[in-house]
């Protein structure tokens, strides 16, 4: 009897160990992928030192390594214009030298600049007066009191993004050092951001020295894989693999944005390769998201699968936490699918909350949605550092609900 009980206990232990190990292995693999994509060898997955190209080759190698006999994978190569900063000297405001990445950001599409210029700071007290000044040889600094004023929003955004005051440079003072994505089209002025806490009080002059370059036909591409299912209807998982790259000594490695999303759908690829899925499953890794959804727009214009066959698309972007749940863009548009996801989560108790959000063109789901494809953009809420920032590193990711999010997605696909 004792021997029989011992055998039962051993079987139970092995079962529990294997289940826990398979769950843990998901996180181990995700951490390995994130760590690799964020390593110095990938140079922030931008357009200097072939960072983005190295990332695409790594993803392709992972697809090849973990494929099934029926899965197929390929590069979708194309060219696109990109802007890069090739040389960056010290940036000084009055007597204070600022650190690139942490204390200032120059947008790569800015015009090269070398010299010392006066700074004209504008806020609500002098805004009307500034509108009539000649700023051709000055940098205008836009105070947060203006950017936060809804009544002035249109005018201020035109100054920041279009330089309607024809300044030598535009400094957008921001509440935190999180770089805003920019149009990749070259501009004729210097566009930069400085956190308000890094901007010296009563700043009078800026000394700046950098060179930028436009590459009209940069060779890049999306990475694509597909696993045939029992149905020809397609479920598509998407994530962008590019990031901001480098700015002088600062490297934007993009752990949360979006090495986390890449790791998750590579993990899902491994899972769905194990047995024939209910639906045909497509996995698309996009380039050029950070400079205007370029890769996803190219795919929609040159689809490798019929868009009409996509039953649903799940875009994964910023998935490095989850302790506070997830947010789903388009959940108010595709209510039936949202209710299914919500019901699964309530039954399995995967996540503490699923937050709704309406339609938005803020990630790679947007070109598909605008082309009539049902889609969600999912991002997590919880313990992470800032994104579009050098501090977005693997060490600052919790991956607190990684396994639960993966299992929720698998259940969702199987019940669609």
Q: Could you give phi then psi for residue 333, rounded to 5 degrees?
A: -90, -45
Question: Does position 218 have pLDDT exceeding 80, yes or no?
Answer: yes
Three-state helix/strand/coil letters over the chain: CHHHHHHHHHHHHHHHHHHHHHHHHHHHHHHHHHHHHCCHHHHHHCCCCCHHHHHHHHHHHHHHHCCCCCCEEEEEEEEEEEEEEEEECCEEECCEEECECCCEEECCCCCCEEEEEEEEEECCCCHHHHCCCCCCCEEEEECHHHHCCHHHHHHHHHHHHHCCCCCCEEEEEECCCCCCCCCCCCCCCEEEEEEHHHCCCCCCEEEEEEEEEEEEEEEEEEEEEEECCCEEEEEEEEEECCCCEEECCEEECCHHHHHHHHHHHHHHHHHHCCCCCCEEEEEEEECCCCCCCHHHHHHHHCCCCCHHHEEEEEEECCCCCCCCCEEEECCCCCHHHHHHHHHHHHHHCCCCCEEEECCCCCCCHHHHHHCCCCEEEEEECCCCCCCCCCCCCHHHCCCCCHHHHHHHHHHHHHHC
Instruction: Please tell me the predicted confidence (pLDDT) of residue 178.
Output: 65
Q: Do domains 26-80+216-415 and 84-214 have the same CATH topology?
A: no
User: pLDDT category, 26, cuts 50, 70, 90?
Assistant: confident
**Burial readout 82-104 (b: 16 or more C-beta within 10 A, e: otherwise):** bbbbeebeebebeeeebebbebb
CA 339 to chain centre: 26
pLDDT the model gives residue 15: 43
Q: Could you give the percent of the chain with pLDDT greater than 90?
A: 86
Whether residue 383 is predicted with pLDDT greater than 90 in this model: the reply is no
Which two three-digit tokens encode residue 121?
A: 């700071």
Has residue 13 got a pLDDT over 90?
Answer: no
CA distance 268 to 405: 11
Which of 120, 105, 272 has the alpha carbon at shortest distance from 191?
A: 105
Instruction: Give the pLDDT score at 394.
Output: 97
384 — pLDDT class (breaks 50, 70, 90): confident
What is the DSSP pairing of strand 91-93 with strand 205-227?
antiparallel
How confident is the prediction for the chain on average, in pLDDT? Answer: 92
pLDDT score recorded for residue 68: 87
* Half-sphere CA count of 256, side-chain side, radius 13 A: 26
Alpha carbon 158 to its chain's center: 25
Q: What is the pLDDT of residue 386?
A: 81
Summarised one tens digit per residue, pLDDT across range 263-316 is: 999 999 999 999 999 999 999 999 999 999 999 999 999 999 999 999 999 999
CATH superfamily of 26-80+216-415: Zn peptidases (3.40.630.10)
Q: Is residue 176 pLDDT above 80, yes or no? A: no
pLDDT for residue 313: 99
Cβ 179 vs Cβ 99: under 8 Å: no
Global confidence as pTM: 0.91
pLDDT of res. 293: 97
Judge whether residue 2 has pLDDT over 70.
no
pLDDT surpasses 80 at 126: yes
Question: pLDDT tens-digit profile of 38-89?
Answer: 999 999 999 999 999 999 999 999 999 999 888 999 999 999 999 999 999 9
Band the pLDDT of 179: cuts 50, 70, 90.
Answer: low
pLDDT at 182: 63
| 12 pLDDT higher than 60 | no
Kindly indicate the confidence band of residue 11, based on its pLDDT and cuts at 50, 70 and 90: very low
Which residues, including other chains, have CB under 8 Å from residue 18's CB and lie 6 or more apart? Answer: none
Instruction: Tell me phi and psi for residue 290, to 5 degrees.
Output: -70, -15
- Cβ–Cβ < 8 Å for 76, 224: yes
Please give the residue that has the higher pLDDT: either 142 or 384.
142
Q: Which residue has the higher pLDDT, 383 or 234?
A: 234
Span 84-214 CATH architecture: 3-Layer(bba) Sandwich (3.50)
**Where do the structural domains in the chain lie, given as residue ranges?**
26-80+216-415, 84-214
Quick one: average pLDDT of 18-34? 70
Q: Is the pLDDT assigned to residue 201 strictly greater than 90?
A: no
């Amino acid at each position: 009897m004792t021997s029989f009980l011992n055998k039962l206990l051993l079987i139970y232990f092995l079962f529990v160990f294997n289940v826990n190990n398979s769950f843990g292995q998901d996180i181990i693999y995700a951490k390995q992928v994130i760590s690799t994509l964020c390593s110095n060898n990938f140079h922030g997955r931008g357009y200097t030192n072939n960072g983005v190209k190295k990332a695409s080759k790594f993803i392709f190698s992972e697809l090849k390594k973990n494929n099934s006999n029926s899965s197929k994978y390929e590069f979708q190569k194309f060219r696109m214009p990109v802007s890069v900063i090739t040389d960056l000297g010290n940036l000084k405001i009055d007597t204070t030298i600022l650190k690139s990445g942490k204390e200032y950001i120059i947008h790569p599409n800015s015009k090269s600049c070398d010299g010392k210029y006066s700074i004209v700071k504008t806020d609500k007290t002098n805004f009307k007066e500034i509108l009539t000044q000649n700023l051709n040889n000055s940098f205008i600094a836009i105070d947060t009191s203006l950017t936060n004023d809804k009544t002035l929003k249109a005018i201020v955004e035109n100054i920041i993004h279009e330089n309607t005051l024809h300044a030598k440079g535009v400094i957008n003072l921001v509440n935190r050092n999180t770089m805003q994505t920019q149009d990749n089209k070259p501009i004729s002025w210097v566009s930069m951001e400085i956190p308000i806490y890094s901007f010296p009080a009563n700043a009078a002059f800026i000394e700046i020295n950098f060179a930028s370059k436009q590459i009209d036909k940069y060779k890049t591409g999306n990475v694509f894989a597909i696993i045939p299912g029992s149905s020809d209807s397609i479920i598509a998982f998407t994530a962008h693999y590019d990031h901001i790259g480098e700015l002088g000594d600062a490297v934007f490695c993009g752990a949360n944005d979006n090495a986390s999303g890449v790791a998750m759908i590579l993990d899902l690829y491994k899972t769905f390769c194990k047995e024939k899925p209910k639906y045909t499953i497509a996995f698309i890794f996009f380039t050029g998201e950070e400079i205007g959804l370029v890769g996803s727009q190219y795919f929609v214009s040159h689809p490798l699968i019929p868009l009409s066959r996509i039953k649903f698309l799940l875009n994964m972007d910023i998935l490095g936490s989850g302790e506070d749940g997830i947010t789903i863009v388009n959940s108010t548009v595709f209510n039936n699918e949202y209710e299914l996801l919500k019901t699964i989560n309530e039954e399995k108790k995967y996540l503490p909350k699923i937050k709704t959000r309406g339609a938005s063109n803020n990630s790679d789901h947007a070109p598909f949605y605008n082309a009539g494809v049902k889609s969600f953009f999912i991002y997590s809420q919880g313990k992470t550092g800032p994104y579009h920032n050098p501090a977005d590193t693997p060490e600052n990711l919790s991956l607190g609900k990684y396994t639960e999010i993966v299992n929720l997605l698998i259940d969702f696909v199987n019940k669609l």
